[in-house]
Each structure stands twice: as C-alpha cells, then as structure tokens.
Chains A and B, each alone.
Chain A
C-alpha cells in the first residue's frame, strides 16, 4: 500500500479537518545537525504521547508503544520503513487534534518508533526528554469534537485523570464525588506542577464544594491556595477573593484588594463613595491615614471642581479668564491640588474648601512642602510680592527677616525656572547661606552684583578678574569691579 506524498496531501486537504504544517519535515531524519534537530524538536507540538510509558492499550489489545504493536501499525499502513518516512511526514502534517481518529497512522507508535531513528536501537528518543509537550490541554467544560471521546472511560484514578488532563484528553471530573476523592485529585494535580491542570481542578472544586470547605482545605495547601488566589484575580471574582482573604485572616491583603477596585471606578461620586467604604478596613496604621486622606481629598476636589467650573463659565473671575484651566482637579495628587489652590484661590480665607490654608491644615502638610508649592504657584503668576511675603517673618521685635524652611538655593531655582527678573533673583541668591553655592548660582544666573560682592568678601581677586570679562563693556558692573580692584583698602588673597 504505497502512498505517495501527493496522495497524502490530497487526502488531508480534502478532508473536513484542515491540516497545517510549519515546516517541511523531510530534513528531520536526514540531518543530524544539532540545531536543526533543536528547531524541529521544539516544534513537536504534534507529539503528545512520548512520555506516556504506562499501560496504553490499543483497540487490538496490544500495549501501545510496544514493538509488536508499532510494527503492526506501520505494516498495516505502509509495509516498509521507507514508507514510514512518508508516514512520519504525513503524521506531522496533520494536527494532533485528530490523533484519536482510528484512521490511518496513529501517532502512538510512530513517534517513538521514528524519532529514535537517528540513534539506532533506541525506541525512546531524545524528544522524550522534552517531557510533555501536550498538543492541548483541556478543561472538562470546554467541549471537543466527538472523535475525541473515543477512548473515554469512566474509571480512572485521580492520578490517571490528572495525567489525562495534562495531555488534553477529555475528562469528566464529576465522578469524584466524595471530598476525599476531590482532595486526592487536587493533590495529584499539584504534584504535577501543571498550572492548567491545577486550575481545571480548582474550577471543579469551586463549583462543587461550598465556600467554607474549599477555604478550609486550601488553607493547608499552600500551592493550591496561591493558584486559587491568582485564578480569582485573573477572572476578577472580587467577592470570593475577599471572602477568602477574610477567612485566612489576611487582613492587610483584604484591605488592599478591596481598595484596588477603586481604580476601575471612573465616576468621581461613585469613586468617592467607594473610598468611603475603604476607611476602617484593616490597613496598617500609616496606610489607614492615607486612605482617609484619599477619601477626604476626593471629596474636596469634587466640591472645588464643581465650584470652579461654575466660576469659569460665568467668566467674571479674573484669574480664570487670564489662565483658563487646562484640566480638571479631580483625582489629582494632593500636592498638585495644593498648587492649584495656591494658583487660583490664594487669597481665600481658611474657611473655604479651596483655600490653601485649609488644605494645609486638613492634610497636615508640612511647612517645607507648603512653601515650595506656594512659591511655585506664585512665581508662575509672577506675583513677586506674594513670594516675598512667603519668606518674610516679623520677629517679636517687629523686624522683618527672610527665612525659609527650604534652602534658598531651591527658591532661586524655582524663581529662575519661572523667568523671574534679575533683581528678584539677585535678592534671593544673596540669601543663600553656603558661599560656594551662592557663587555658583550667581554666576549661573548672571547676578553680577552678587558675584562681585561675594568675591570682594572672599578677597578673591583672581575670580573677580576672571568675572570681569563676563560683564558688559562699559557697564556699571564693570566700573564697580574696576573700583574694587584698584581699591587700596582690600587685602586680596590672590
């Protein structure tokens, strides 16, 4: 019964079941090169029974995989090993979905028979080491074409069932009725390390066990438990997940899992209500405070947003006319909200929700952060008087002095970023305490007077001389430098 390649192709291409090939398998047996073997071995998704060395009996009663059986098979199809090659090719050219069809070359024997060809005498090929590359894995519920039910039996042990599942055979788990059976099934699945099998079993258990028992049993089975958690997260069964955490007394995870949901709620009101339900959950002490703040912040933002949108559309408020808002304040972080408030509502009294002072008090914003943010906002608006006021304090004697909870170098940087005029910059550069930093900044931002004065204070003639070339010719600064350089009263260091 010689079949040519053409016949094979025609047969398969005309059949209802479509085939697909990735590769011309011709080279597989002729080339001994490692790489080629690698590529082809890796593609052995069609091979699904290499590792099954257990009792597998064919329809004729002979143990599958046995030499006699395989010889019988090939003999019935081709009669010679040369044909076997063709078989191999044709075998590889149809998908294993239909491997169970009793029709022509069954895969059972061929795979073990032929792959061993490259190393004579060995019926168990190197591909065996590839372990299970099952062509497919099934879940009981997903259903498969009728043909695959052919070798279905009602009587497999848990370990067999699990093995079948791994290979993707249809398997009903319904017959595992007793709790003991179910647990044994689970145990077998876990020991196999195969995620899909464990998931399949868990789906079954979830459906057929009541919550309490399921939880109780999984509590002591860490691997299965982790799988269940992962699975519940994947399919989004939030309710069961939270119940599970509650049962396990994993309080922090319970709280965070619940909180995480808020990311999916777009509507601000609904999100706010949801956040409210998060308060009081068993977070750590620090986190509880943050959650509370999150709720309060969103609550405020909703009010501010509504109010400001109204003001903006009314068109009467100057600040909104001059600087129309680019985005809504909803769901912005706290510091951004503070900036917004310092920008649009700076002068408001403490009583309003949108006033900066109110925000500062409610959220206990430290001075440092407050000053920085207010500075950035006022500098952006070029409100230099406000900037001044931020740093001016009256001490008890009534004298004013400039102080900052942040280094003045930071102030200078922010002012510069907002294109503050040189006089303002100069004033603040002068307040920088560290002399080197002061000089650096002054040079960087071209605050000539500060540079000159500092050089004078440091008695550094060389630096002053070097700086002279940086000022404009004939400018007041140049004159000042010259005056200093020629002054007899200064005892220059260099």
Chain B
C-alpha cells in the first residue's frame, strides 16, 4: 500500500491500481496527476477508485474536468463509516464534521453517523433506548428511525448488546476540548499529536536503533500494549509511581534467572523471556515519553497557562482582559494557543463583553495579521468566541449544578471524573453520568440552558429479545459524540465504566478523535 502523493506513481509490477481515498477535491487533483504521468512506454495498467465512505458527485466531476474520469474502470464506494480504534472506541475520523454540522448546516456527516449506527445495530442488535441532547443528535435519531422504518419487515433477531444510545452534540459542551488535557494519553496528544494511534516523538530520549538515527520516533499506542493500557487514562502526575513500580517488578523478574537451577526451571524462564523483554522495552519507551512530557509540564509557561485555564473554569475573572493572554499575544505565542485561551474565557463567561472582545480581536489581528478576521468569524459562528448577549452569564449555574469544578481532586486515586483535568469534570461526561443515574429529570433546568433539544426515543424490540439485566449486571451505553471527542473525555468515561457501583459501561463513538488545537485549526480559514 502506498500513500497518495503527487507526480508519478511508484514503480510496481502490477496490473491494477486502486485509489482508496476520501472524497476530497484536493485528492482528486493528486490522483489526476498520477494518472496523467503514467509512463506510456510501460505496460498498460488499469485504474480503479474507491471512495470512503461514499462517492461524491463533485469529486467525479473534478476528475472529469481534469480529463481522467474515463481512465477509471471501476468507481465504487467503500462504506466504512465507523472505524474501531480500540475495544471500546470507534471513530469516523471525519475532520470536517464539526465545521460542516455547526457552521455550515451540512448534515452529510450526520447521515454517515446514522448509517454507521445502523450497521452497528445490524451487528449488535437494535438499541432499545436512544437519548440525545442537541440539534444534530435529534437529526441523527430522526434519520435512524426513518432508516429503520424503510426496512419494515426485516426484524433484527440479534440479542441487543447495547442498552442505550446517547447522542451528544459537541456544541453542548464547547468547554472541554479547549482546556489542556492532563491524562497521560491526553498530554501526548496535546504536545505531540496522536494520529491513527501513532505518535511521532523527538528521538533524543530514545535509544537509537541504528547509527545516526535522527528521525522522529514513531510509536503505536493502543491497549494491546499492557503498560500503556494501564497508564494511558491516568492523570499524568500518577504515572511516575506506576512506572517505578513496574521497573521494580521487571527487574525482579529478570533477577529470577539466578533462581533457576534445574533445566526445567531455566527452560521456563527462557520461555518467558520474550514477554519480559517486551515489557522492558515498553517500560523504556514510556519512561522516555514521560520524561519528555515532564519537561513540558514543569516549564514555567505551562504552569502559567494551566493556572489561567483553571481560573477561568472555576469562574474567576472571566469578564476582563487577562494579563497572561495579553502577554502571550505580545510575545507572539502560537496563534492556536491564544485562540484556545480566549475561547475558553468566552465560553466560561457565556460570551465576552463587547469591549473585551474587541480588545482581544484587535490585538490578535494586529499581531497575527488581518486575514484572521475570517477565523474569528468562524469561531463566533461556532459559539466559541462571541459577544455576551443578554448580559447574563449562565456558566456559574451550569458549573454549580453539575459540579463541574471540584476543589479536592485526588490525582493518584481518583474518585471523580474531574481528575482528568485536575479539577474540572468534563461537562459532556457529567451529562452521561447523570443520565445513567439518577436520570436527566434531575437536571431539567440546566438542560434547558444548554443548546439544543433533549429527547428520548424507544425502538421496539421483538418479544423474547427484550433485555432483562440481572441485578448487579452493568448496562451498556453507546455514547456518540457528534463533532469530536478528546482522550480526556474517553478516560473519564472509562473511569466511570470501571466504578464498582457505576452501573453502566460505556462504548465510545465519535465523528473524530481530536484535541483543542486540532479542533481550532479545523476552523481556521486557509487559502484554497
């Protein structure tokens, strides 16, 4: 498999060439280039194209305009809607979903989400109860119901795995992605970025594999790695002790070789070597990563930034121009960092006072360039950075009712989801938690403040398939974030899943795995 690149196709002795792409116009240009630069002298090769997850009229039109449409023998689609990233995590990996849904009112991603859910139901049974909050959630539920209706007569006789589906609009909780994540995985994503379960890290702290290996170290991160599964969702401050304990265990294991006296014992030891070596390698990697992260988290600037974030989230001084933000602009820190902070302040204040907003806008435009008017407009449209209307700040009510700010956080042995941000409980996860118990009736008032309708739907199951949970058996809820989800939120949901008396286990689905920076970046206007 080759990555799509411009100019000529790599030489390969094959008859068929299949382009496996998302339906994006820019990719069509690259493909056309590939096709047109085919070496006439070589053997004729057949071209095919597979769009994931759907064909696009516009893309085919573009191929036609570029004169290559006829070169394709097959033009098909591969409807891969939800991609499993882990045992409890699915993502559509649709970067444009948030912008399309919330800024442009384009419901294509919602349609794909609904289709993905239908596929899931075909495999794991009809989900008897659907809960939702938000306009998009409502749309998806409507589409699901309609799709189900279109296949009357086809009764799915699979015993349902999921008890509930919870659809959540991202814009119900705009706050969470803006804050800096503080779990181990969250920090790796914030600092280095995790793409498709891979992270590229600077090579300095890793033992080089070969001489002169100056390239970035690429690591795969998923729960197949025992140690990673153990530490990924912990608050970063709790990771160190796990690593040192692990180091002792592994050392002890290697020391065992001195105790192996008989041939049988030696044989047994040797058979375990690969596993121990893997564990040691894993420990070495994560110790290096933890060191890299620590360099960042112990820096003065990180501390200052975190302090400001926490002040905003606990409701302090959200109504005036913030000195730290001003300093960041004056020192020309990266624009995305600044935007995250001003948006955080705006969301925690239900919008900024016009004077404050104008001041920030002017500083930003003068320091980073006037063209960012377009980005600021997008942020306003998304509700992230806007003027306060009605003069009321609703955030304190939301914060207090849902207990979003918890002063006493135990990072080592957490008792509440607020450990993922060292004090702030993700609003979205709190809503899920409260839905599970005691139910959303207890927070009607707050739900009305949050944007979009909230609703409940039931999908009838044929008798005999109705689920009867044993006492003590957990319900399974599929929670679908429409617009993106962060690793910290995933960690928080996993925390809830493993609670003794939690009552619910969560499987997480989303349109995109993201963090505050990638989110804001997707909203920036770039030249086309």
Pick the contact of B77: A37, A128, A135, A230 (CB < 8 A).
A135
The answer to whether A20 touches B74, judged by C-beta atoms less than 8 angstroms apart, is: yes
Which positions 363-399 of chain A face chain B at CB distance < 8 Å?
Answer: 363, 365, 369, 372
Is A72 interfacial (CB-CB < 8 Å)? no
Is A211 interfacial (CB-CB < 8 Å)? no
From A235, which residue of chain B is reached at the shortest CB distance? Answer: B58
The answer to whether A41 touches B48, judged by C-beta atoms less than 8 angstroms apart, is: no
**Alpha-carbon distance between A43 and B80 when the two chains are bound, in angstroms:** 8
Question: Which of B99-107, B474-482, B515-523 participates in binding chain A?
Answer: B99-107
The answer to whether B366 touches A334, judged by C-beta atoms less than 8 angstroms apart, is: yes
The answer to whether B56 touches A196, judged by C-beta atoms less than 8 angstroms apart, is: yes
Is A260 interfacial (CB-CB < 8 Å)? yes
The answer to whether B366 touches A365, judged by C-beta atoms less than 8 angstroms apart, is: yes
The answer to whether B57 touches A333, judged by C-beta atoms less than 8 angstroms apart, is: no
How far does the Cβ of A299 sit from chain B's closest Cβ, in whole Å?
Answer: 13
The answer to whether B123 touches A38, judged by C-beta atoms less than 8 angstroms apart, is: yes
The answer to whether B366 touches A335, judged by C-beta atoms less than 8 angstroms apart, is: yes
Is A231 interfacial (CB-CB < 8 Å)? yes
User: Within 8 Å CB of B151, what residues of A?
Assistant: 51, 124, 128-129, 131
The answer to whether B106 touches A227, judged by C-beta atoms less than 8 angstroms apart, is: yes
**Alpha-carbon distance between A407 and B527 when the two chains are bound, in angstroms:** 38
Is B386 interfacial (CB-CB < 8 Å)? no
The answer to whether A18 touches B16, judged by C-beta atoms less than 8 angstroms apart, is: yes
Is B195 interfacial (CB-CB < 8 Å)? no
User: Within 8 Å CB of B76, what residues of A?
Assistant: 45, 95-97, 135-136
From A144, which residue of chain B is reached at the shortest CB distance? Answer: B75
The answer to whether A234 touches B374, judged by C-beta atoms less than 8 angstroms apart, is: no
The answer to whether A142 touches B64, judged by C-beta atoms less than 8 angstroms apart, is: yes
User: Within 8 Å CB of A53, what residues of B?
Assistant: 153
| Main DSSP-derived SS at the A contact region | helix
User: Within 8 Å CB of A311, what residues of B?
Assistant: none
Is A223 interfacial (CB-CB < 8 Å)? yes
Is A251 interfacial (CB-CB < 8 Å)? no
How far does the Cβ of B301 sit from chain A's closest Cβ, in whole Å?
Answer: 12
From B124, which residue of chain A is reached at the shortest CB distance? Answer: A34
The answer to whether B78 touches A45, judged by C-beta atoms less than 8 angstroms apart, is: yes
The answer to whether B124 touches A260, judged by C-beta atoms less than 8 angstroms apart, is: no
Question: Which of A241-249, A284-292, A445-453, A466-474 participates in binding chain B?
Answer: A284-292
Q: How many residues of A contact B (CB 8 A)?
A: 73
User: Within 8 Å CB of A42, what residues of B?
Assistant: 79-80, 119
Pick the contact of B377: A131, A134, A256, A263 (CB < 8 A).
A256
Pick the contact of A126: B80, B122, B148, B373 (CB < 8 A).
B122
The answer to whether A45 touches B77, judged by C-beta atoms less than 8 angstroms apart, is: yes
Q: Which of A41, A131, A294 has the most CB of B within 10 A?
A: A131
The answer to whether A193 touches B143, judged by C-beta atoms less than 8 angstroms apart, is: yes
How far does the Cβ of B23 sit from chain A's closest Cβ, in whole Å?
Answer: 9
User: Within 8 Å CB of A125, what residues of B?
Assistant: 154
Q: Which of B46, B156, B371 has the most CB of A within 10 A?
A: B371
The answer to whether B69 touches A194, judged by C-beta atoms less than 8 angstroms apart, is: no
User: Within 8 Å CB of B73, what residues of A?
Assistant: 17-18
Is A222 interfacial (CB-CB < 8 Å)? yes
From B126, which residue of chain A is reached at the shortest CB distance? Answer: A129
The answer to whether B157 touches A199, judged by C-beta atoms less than 8 angstroms apart, is: no
Contact of A410 with B370 at beta-carbon distance under 8 Å, contacts A42-B80, A126-B122, A223-B107 already known: no
The answer to whether A234 touches B358, judged by C-beta atoms less than 8 angstroms apart, is: no
The answer to whether B60 touches A142, judged by C-beta atoms less than 8 angstroms apart, is: yes
The answer to whether B156 touches A264, judged by C-beta atoms less than 8 angstroms apart, is: no
Is B525 interfacial (CB-CB < 8 Å)? yes
Contact of A142 with B373 at beta-carbon distance under 8 Å, contacts A130-B118, A264-B528 already known: no
Is B361 interfacial (CB-CB < 8 Å)? yes
Which positions 342-374 of chain B face chain A at CB distance < 8 Å?
Answer: 358, 361-363, 365-371, 373-374
Pick the contact of B367: A95, A129, A135, A333 (CB < 8 A).
A333
User: Within 8 Å CB of B526, what residues of A?
Assistant: 263
How far does the Cβ of B187 sit from chain A's closest Cβ, in whole Å?
Answer: 27
How far does the Cβ of A15 sit from chain B's closest Cβ, in whole Å?
Answer: 12
Is B337 interfacial (CB-CB < 8 Å)? no
Pick the contact of B525: A231, A263, A334 (CB < 8 A).
A263
Which positions 188-225 of chain A face chain B at CB distance < 8 Å?
Answer: 193-196, 199-200, 203, 222-223
Per-residue contact bits, chain A 116-142, to B (CB 8 Å; 1 contact, 0 not)? 000100101111111101111101001
Is B61 interfacial (CB-CB < 8 Å)? yes
User: Within 8 Å CB of B18, what residues of A?
Assistant: 20
Is B268 interfacial (CB-CB < 8 Å)? no
Pick the contact of B373: A200, A291, A365 (CB < 8 A).
A291
User: Within 8 Å CB of B48, what residues of A?
Assistant: 20
Per-residue contact bits, chain A 248-279, to B (CB 8 Å; 1 contact, 0 not)? 00001000100110111000000000000000
Is A402 interfacial (CB-CB < 8 Å)? no
Is A293 interfacial (CB-CB < 8 Å)? yes
The answer to whether A124 touches B69, judged by C-beta atoms less than 8 angstroms apart, is: no
The answer to whether A286 touches B371, judged by C-beta atoms less than 8 angstroms apart, is: no
The answer to whether B528 touches A259, judged by C-beta atoms less than 8 angstroms apart, is: no
How far does the Cβ of A337 sit from chain B's closest Cβ, in whole Å?
Answer: 10
Per-residue contact bits, chain A 21-43, to B (CB 8 Å; 1 contact, 0 not)? 00000000000001001100111
Is A226 interfacial (CB-CB < 8 Å)? yes
The answer to whether A128 touches B374, judged by C-beta atoms less than 8 angstroms apart, is: no
User: Within 8 Å CB of B327, what residues of A?
Assistant: 410
**Alpha-carbon distance between A45 and B55 when the two chains are bound, in angstroms:** 11
Q: Which of A252, A334, A372 has the most CB of B within 10 A?
A: A334
Per-residue contact bits, chain A 91-123, to B (CB 8 Å; 1 contact, 0 not)? 000011100000000000000000000010010
**Alpha-carbon distance between A325 and B400 when the two chains are bound, in angstroms:** 55
User: Within 8 Å CB of B285, what residues of A?
Assistant: none
The answer to whether B54 touches A196, judged by C-beta atoms less than 8 angstroms apart, is: yes
The answer to whether B123 touches A34, judged by C-beta atoms less than 8 angstroms apart, is: yes
**Alpha-carbon distance between A333 and B362 when the two chains are bound, in angstroms:** 12
How far does the Cβ of A421 sit from chain B's closest Cβ, in whole Å?
Answer: 22
The answer to whether A286 touches B358, judged by C-beta atoms less than 8 angstroms apart, is: yes
Between-chain CB contacts (< 8 Å), 12 pairs: A95-B74, A137-B54, A139-B57, A193-B107, A195-B54, A226-B106, A230-B100, A259-B374, A291-B373, A333-B368, A334-B370, A363-B366
18 more contacts with CB within 8 A, not counting A226-B105, A230-B106, A334-B365, are A18-B74, A95-B74, A97-B76, A122-B157, A128-B151, A129-B119, A129-B148, A135-B77, A136-B75, A139-B57, A195-B56, A199-B57, A222-B105, A229-B104, A259-B373, A290-B365, A333-B368, A334-B370
Q: Which residues of B contact A (CB under 8 A)?
A: 16, 18, 25, 46, 48, 54-58, 60-61, 64, 69, 73-80, 100, 104-108, 111, 115, 118-119, 121-124, 143, 147-148, 150-151, 153-154, 156-158, 327, 330, 332, 358, 361-363, 365-371, 373-374, 377, 525-528
Instruction: Give the 9 A-B residue pairs with the shortest CB-CB distance, closest first.
Output: A263-B527, A294-B370, A129-B122, A124-B154, A226-B105, A333-B369, A334-B366, A195-B108, A128-B154
